[in-house]
Structures are given as structure tokens and as C-alpha cells.
Amino acid sequence: MATTERTLVLLKPDAVARGLIGRVVQRFEDAGLKVVGTKMVQMDADLAKKHYFDLEERFGKDVFDLTANFMQMGPVIALVLEGIEAVANVRRLVGSTFPNESAPGTIRGDFAHVSKAFSQANKIVAANLVHASGKPDEAKYEIDLWFDSAELFDYQTVAEKYTF
């Protein structure tokens, strides 16, 4: 059964620095997702460790260090989006982790191009603009990490009449 969900999206330092905030948020809103929380944050080492708590275990210390350092290079925009099957729909809109594998029409496919091979060969992060929660339980953890309940809003949009 389709359910209304909330999910976390981070517009990474490369998206902020390139001035893509509005264009990326518009993609989510155009798809019928509602912004229920937003803020600009400078990620510090503690937040990076909490957010990427399992990255080192899964991919090694080098990947964790590269990712954490990249995410601390500049501010990020943290968003909580709400919609029907929001987690899966946001992942579909964002595209594959590696931009060169993302389909045209996805955020990463349209605005980035770095490949896994290039990033590994150069020991850099594949600048892919956006983090999106992968599963509903991950989304809940991440939303609770990034937002207090007072920073999240319940309201109705005109579009909900047609999409929810």
C-alpha cells in the first residue's frame, strides 16, 4: 500500500557552490513533493560521523574521510520532503550515486558527470550534488539527526488536492 512518507535530502556543498539550490528544489516540487523542513548547515566532524556512521565499515576509512571532508567544505541545505512513497520517489529523481551512470532527466544525470573510475583514480569524492535517504528507516534516523520536531511543519498545499 502506498503511504505518505518523509525523507531527508541534503544539497551538498557542490550544489550550493554551483548555485543549483532553486533548480534542484524545483525538481522535487514539480514531482509533487512538499518541503516540510529546510535549513542551511555547516557540517562539522561530529555531524559527519553521526550521519555517515556506517560508511567506514562498509567502504573503508579512506572513503569515509573523503566523504566527510567533502561534506565539510561548505554549507549544505538540509531538506525534509513529504509525499507518497517519498523515499523511493526522491531516489528516482536524484539518479544513481555516480553521475555518469544516472539517466538524463535525473538531477545527477542533468547537472553532474563524475564517474566512479575518475573519482577513485584521483582519490576524490564523486561530486554528485545530493544525498537522499535510501530507505524509510534510514530517512527517519537522518531526519531526527538533522531536525528537531519544531523545525518540521504540517501544512496543506494546493497541489495536495491532486497528488495526495
CB-based contact 49:111 (threshold 8 Å)? no
Q: What is the largest CA-CA distance in the chain?
A: 49
Please say if 131 is a catalytic residue. Answer: yes
Are 94 and 130 in contact by the 8 Å Cβ rule? The answer is yes
In 3D, which of 81, 119, 84, 124 has the Cα closest to residue 98?
119
114, 126 contact by CB (below 8 A): yes
Which of 131, 133, 146, 147 is catalytic? The answer is: 131
Residue whose C-alpha is closest to residue 6's, from 107, 75, 88, 95: 88
Active site residues: 131
